[in-house]
Structure 1
Amino acid sequence: MPRYFFHTHIGDDVILDPDGRELDDADAAWEATRTLALQLLQGADADPDLIRAVLYVTDDSQDVVLEFPLSEALIADPPDRSGNGTLH
């Protein structure tokens, strides 16, 4: 099962995910990323700068497979994966 790493970029700051998470495939990584984005934005002490943050999801080879702006998680219906927040 592939492992995906969820790195948070807020401006010039980067919070690395050293452990990652095993998921079935890139589609499962997309769903996990959207859930993580919502959790970050809904946190009681959420930083207002988080709305401009981007989650970069990498695979075991450290190749970026997904760029997900946290603001995209607030869209009621997830966008078609052919635009932002799509798999690479």
Structure 2
Amino acid sequence: MPTYRFTILIDDQTPHEPVFRHLRDADAAYDEAKRLAQEIWAASGDRRLMRAVVVVTDAAGEIVLEFPFTEAITAP
């Protein structure tokens, strides 16, 4: 399974350590990015997270996706 790195960015800062996950594909990485964003938002409620994104990179360091926290926060 491919390894994906999940990094939280608020502006140019990374307030959390990156998280690494072995997942089957980019669709699973999208689901994990959404879950992480929702979990971090629920745990902190920090309004700065409205400007945050989860940047997902692959083992080569290439960006797979950028998931905005606002999408997770407003999702049903």
TM bracket, shorter-chain basis: 0.7 to 0.9
Provide the residue aligned with 1:81 in structure 2: none
| Runs of 5+ unmatched residues, structure 1 | 77-88
**Paired residue for 1:46?**
45
Which consecutive aligned stretches of 4+ in structure 1 deviate over 6 angstroms post-superposition? none
Q: Percent identity?
A: 41
Contact 1:11/1:53 (CA < 8 Å) preserved in 2?
yes
Q: Which runs of 5+ in 2 are unaligned?
A: none
Structure exhibiting the larger radius of gyration computed from Cα positions:
1
RMSD: 1.3
Relative to total residues, which structure has the larger helix share, 1 or 2? 2
Task: Name the aligned partner's letter for residue 39 of structure 1.
Answer: E
Return the structure number with greater strand share: 2
Q: Report how many aligned residue pairs link the two structures.
A: 74
Q: TM-score, normalised by structure 2?
A: 0.88
Larger relative contact order, structure 1 or 2 (CA cutoff 8 Å, min sep 6):
2
Secondary structure at the aligned position of 1:4 is classed as strand
TM-score, length-normalised on structure 1? Answer: 0.77
Residues 38-69 of structure 1, C-alpha deviation per residue, up to 9 Å, x if partnerless? 001111x3321011101100000010001100
